[in-house]
């Protein structure tokens, strides 16, 4: 982990952070909060009651629930992620008034530190106008890649070209002229119905309000996405900071699910680089038939594996009941949820079969672990393509869940010659990343400039 002690500021200076309450968004925001705390800032976390972070894991932070406190309020959400998205995430206009009032109260009542700025998830786009109306600087945390965000900023253009509605297989394999890294099927796989899709509208608002923010913090690093930086600076002409959070702190303390650590004694007994770690994130779901293909693919590969099957991962099943008894044999272990980065850092892990969520991708890169990519939707197909065709630190399973292809891909990445090159590139990328954390390196400098930038904010408070 990187040395976090160089720049430090007056502990009297407070930053307010507001994550989107999904695992893949809470993790990086809490990692960022810890990094900023280590630099001397006081931290207040605003959060919804839905998926509230575990405050007891952060005795050094102040927590304040906001927005979904009132059970009578129709923006109140507590049931599931889809209800939350429908009620609050997609309809942020209704949240503006309530958020402004609660934020004003917070800004005027606190006497435990001078507030410098607000940092919100980029998807909380409505917070920009609230911050503007209070003259409070707002930075955004963007929890996906630079590349994905550039593609997201082009959704209206891609829709006008008809790419989201393509179904002809002959076209789907062609490269996208506007983004020659991508195939047309990657755009289709994002799962948008076009620019009028509620998710696309949310993204459009996000992009618009990122451009007028006081700055953008990316969970990434220059050497990983070097070719995207010029476009980002052109499309988002505000200060941009690229900081690889997993190199400073893991995401284990913000896990919403209980962490199973019983896999570590088992991993300790496995030879170096011999185990495939398998996890498809906190939200994605598969049908029973796909679950069976995954299981058969794993068994047929004859490689040891550690497979996270999150309860709810299989549509209509609670956990493993759809798998025939004895199918998984003795070759691997199936668990419900683990401290992922610690697993990836274990010397027994040889590769990661992932859904290409951005946190998982970056955690894998940080540990120098090559990937097999099986994206579901949204940014995941874009990240999968980038990993396999640009960074070349993984292989992309492009044709869905098919046991033969799965077993072949596992053998390829774990054992054979092509896999060896991918494994070498993964290690080389990790070395570049490690070097970027040293004084004068890109990540080191980015974090130092963020700290200086925030320290110099001069928010005058509420009048
Ligand atoms: N994760 C974890 N334990 C697991 C599987 C995943 O702690 O068993 C964490 C992982 O480390 C990552 C997050 O869950 O930080 C998943 O985020 P990602 O962006 O990869 O995917 P999402 O869940 O948003 O689809």
Q: What is the pLDDT of residue 170?
A: 81
pLDDT higher at 389 or 326: 389
CATH topology of domain 13-253+440-455: Rossmann fold (3.40.50)
Average pLDDT over residues 409-416: 95
Contacts of 56 (CB under 8 A, 6+ apart): none
Domain boundaries, the chain: 13-253+440-455, 257-433
CATH 3.90.1280.20 is the classification of domain 257-433: no
Residue 355 Cα to ligand 1 middle (Å): 10
Are 107 and 115 spatial neighbours (Cβ–Cβ below 8 Å)?
yes
Are 401 and 374 spatial neighbours (Cβ–Cβ below 8 Å)?
yes
User: Does 1 have pLDDT greater than 70?
Assistant: no
> What DSSP string describes 391-442?
S--EEE-TT-S-HHHHHHHHHHHHTSHHHHHHHHHHHHHHHHHHHHTSTTSH
CB atoms within 10 A of CB 165: 11
Q: What amino acid positions are annotated as catalytic residues?
A: 25, 121
CA–CA dist 293, 302 (Å, integer): 15
Q: What is the pLDDT of residue 144?
A: 98
Q: What is the pTM of this model?
A: 0.96
Out of 80-94, 295-309, 310-324, 393-407, pick the least confident. 80-94
- The verdict on the CB of residue 27 being under 6 Å from ligand 1 is yes
Out of 85-89, 150-154, 404-408, pick the least confident. 85-89
CA–CA dist 374, 394 (Å, integer): 11
Out of 79-93, 169-183, 344-358, 419-433, pick the least confident. 79-93
Residue having the nearest C-alpha atom to atom 15 of ligand 1: 359
* Average predicted confidence (pLDDT) for the chain: 93
- The verdict on the CB of residue 277 being under 6 Å from ligand 1 is no
Percent over 70 (pLDDT), the chain: 94
Average pLDDT over residues 343-370: 98
User: Does 74 have pLDDT greater than 70?
Assistant: no
Chain segment 441-450, per-residue pLDDT in tens: 999 999 999 9
Residue 334 DSSP label: E
Average pLDDT over residues 161-165: 96
> What DSSP string describes 225-265?
SGGGHHHHHHHS-S-EEE--GGGT--SGGG-SSPP--THHH
Residue 143 Cα to ligand 1 middle (Å): 12
Q: Cα-flanking dihedrals φ and ψ of residue 121, to 5°?
A: -55, 140
- The verdict on the CB of residue 340 being under 6 Å from ligand 1 is yes
What pLDDT band is residue 416 in, cutting at 50, 70 and 90?
confident
Domains 13-253+440-455 and 257-433 in one fold: yes
Chain segment 264-295, per-residue pLDDT in tens: 999 999 999 999 999 999 999 999 999 999 99
Average pLDDT over residues 58-74: 79
For residue 86 the two structure tokens come to 């429908």
CA–CA dist 65, 52 (Å, integer): 8
Measure the CA angle with vertex 150, ends 146 and 152; round to 5°: 115
Average pLDDT over residues 1-30: 81
Q: Ligand 1: which atom is nearest the Cα of residue 27?
A: 15
Question: Which alpha helices (DSSP H) does 302-357 contain, by range?
Answer: 340-344
Q: What is the pLDDT of residue 4?
A: 47
Residue 360 Cα to ligand 1 middle (Å): 6
Taking alpha carbons only, the member of 140, 122, 125, 84 closest to residue 283 is: 84
């Amino acid at each position: 982990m990187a040395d976090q002690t160089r720049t430090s500021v007056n502990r009297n200076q407070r930053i307010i952070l507001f994550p989107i309450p999904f695992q893949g968004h809470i993790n990086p925001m809490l990692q960022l909060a810890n990094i900023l705390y280590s630099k001397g800032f006081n931290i207040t976390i605003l959060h919804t009651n839905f998926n509230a972070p575990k405050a007891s894991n952060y005795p050094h932070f102040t927590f304040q629930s906001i927005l979904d406190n009132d059970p009578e309020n129709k923006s109140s959400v507590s049931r599931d992620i889809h209800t939350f998205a429908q009620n609050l995430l997609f309809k942020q206009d209704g949240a503006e008034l309530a958020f402004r009032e609660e934020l004003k109260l917070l800004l005027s009542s606190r006497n435990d530190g001078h507030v410098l700025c607000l940092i919100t998830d980029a998807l909380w786009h409505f917070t920009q106008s609230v911050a503007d109306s209070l003259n409070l600087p707002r930075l955004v945390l963007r929890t996906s890649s630079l590349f994905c965000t550039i593609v997201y900023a082009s959704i209206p253009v891609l829709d006008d070209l008809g790419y989201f509605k393509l179904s002809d297989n002959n076209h789907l394999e062609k490269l996208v002229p506007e983004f020659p890294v991508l195939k047309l099927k990657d755009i289709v796989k994002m799962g948008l119905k076009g620019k009028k899709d509620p998710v696309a509208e949310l993204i459009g608002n996000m992009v618009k309000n990122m451009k007028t923010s006081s700055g953008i913090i990316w969970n990434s690093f220059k050497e990983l996405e070097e070719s995207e930086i010029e476009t980002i600076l052109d499309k988002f002409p505000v200060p941009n900071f690229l900081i690889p959070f997993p190199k400073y702190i893991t995401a284990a303390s913000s896990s919403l699910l209980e962490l199973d650590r019983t896999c570590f004694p088992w991993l300790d007994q496995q030879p170096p680089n011999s185990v495939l770690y398998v996890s498809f994130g906190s939200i994605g779901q598969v049908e029973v038939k796909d679950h069976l293909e995954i299981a058969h693919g794993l068994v047929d590969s004859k490689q040891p594996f550690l497979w996270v099957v999150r309860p709810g991962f299989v549509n209509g099943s609670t956990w493993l009941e759809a798998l025939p008894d004895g199918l998984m044999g003795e070759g691997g272990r199936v668990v419900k949820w683990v401290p992922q980065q610690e697993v990836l850092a274990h010397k027994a892990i040889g590769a990661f079969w992932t859904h290409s969520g951005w946190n998982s991708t970056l955690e894998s890169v940080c540990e120098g672990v090559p990937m097999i990519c099986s994206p579901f939707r949204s940014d995941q197909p874009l990240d999968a393509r980038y990993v396999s065709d640009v960074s070349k630190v993984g292989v992309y399973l492009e044709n869905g869940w098919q046991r033969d292809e799965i077993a072949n891909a596992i053998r390829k990445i774990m054992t054979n010659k092509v896999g060896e090159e991918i494994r070498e590139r993964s290690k080389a990328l990790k070395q570049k990343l490690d070097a970027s954390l040293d004084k004068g390196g890109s990540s080191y400098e980015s974090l130092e400039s963020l700290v200086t930038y925030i320290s110099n904010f001069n928010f005058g408070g509420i009048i």
